[in-house]
Structure 1
């Protein structure tokens, strides 16, 4: 009988948490299922495609929150007045039925619950999981950025044209368009690498947290700038190959790299370079002993 009593006591002591978890599951499991199904099948809206890094980011956020569970339980219960505002706004967003608002209600309500249960200390403790959830939540930011991506598109087209010329391939570059063999390839905003850039920076943040490098501002900035540079360079190479395939009539290779499994493999290899980069930074630019001691003391 003792195990049953123990289980009953655990349930009684966590009724609030169980109730909150049940409500959240009923509200957001269908939404998250829709996200994942769309990301995997690539049949979700083009704007939402920019946030497909959530495929790995959301489980990573849940994993961090799970690792923080003991620290969470040690925090005293402490209600913060901002919690009501977050939850009310999140609730209004959810019942509005507007796609973007419903999406954004998820991180808002999660942040509100942290403030409701543990106050500011709870929000700080779950800061990184909340950040990863927010950055994986689809919104209109990519749509707003796209009009300003024209310089990047023109730059990529010019460099891709220059590379092809060096290999003796006749190419004409007109702003964001490349002409090879009578075929035209447009470096559209989506093809300019914005999605790859978002993914690179997101995965970069994950690596910064996982390795602890985020505690060094200088190293974090250097790493994120390097990650962005790798993304741009990789996209220039990708657009160069796409132009060559399309211009020479190799449509099978073009489709494979453009919207087939080749694009996924290419992106995975690029992200692998970020792992090598941060490992090199840890090896050749280790955190000094004083910073490590401060970090250990803060964790305790």
Structure 2
């Protein structure tokens, strides 16, 4: 059964005759490609019908989306769109509730469906990962080959490179930070000159699907200062990989990496990883601190990204993985270079 069929069956089972999807990421998920700029997806379980509503501006291009399971319709007004609707996302702007008499939240079902990737989704993620692989290797070489380059320049060159390779846009704001700023997990690039150590966390967006990869490289000759921390992070990542397969719990996987860090684990201040798909951060969260434990399933796509952040600098290494029955397939394959 395809995604449309599975969701229509869910609506029937819960006596939801009409559901309206407005969140772009969810529309991307059902279409398995990036949707027109103005898009509304309507599920009619009474007639087993799915309709994509678009504006006049996008109507011509949207004809390419039409298939035997999907009709294309010109949007008229929100009152008509929501008429008779019961199923809504929990992210729906409150301004639309005036068009609905009663509603049932359907987001949990969509989130559950999104956890397991189809063949088409996996291929899109693989393409996005290939783009970011090449881009982060390009960014590394760019930083080594150019003196007095700024963090902003590295970030901009990486984003331009990904665009050239087919990325719609970055899957999140590109991180390219150096020196003491690397101790900030979400530090943002600036006009600061790149020096000493460089952390790049980047992602491409291909057909609405994300990649996510991080590399940290040592740029100066004072390798010893950074080397021990770097090696601990790399080793913790490899330890997590040894245990990664369908059936392991996210809490256990997180603790495997965290405990492997020994005295450095207090400096590992975020979760081990997260799901990736139409959003760069989606379910499941790979963490030992979540309330409800989650068991990894075959077909999930996740990151593993241990990091250590001292008072002087930080190191993070991140890759993308497809969970399999007896292991995993590594989807990001850029070289891991210490220096």
TM-score calculated relative to the size of structure 1: 0.25
Decide which structure has the larger Cα Rg and report it.
Answer: 1
Q: Quick check: which one's strand share is greater?
A: 2
Instruction: Identify, as 1 or 2, the structure richer in helix.
Output: 1
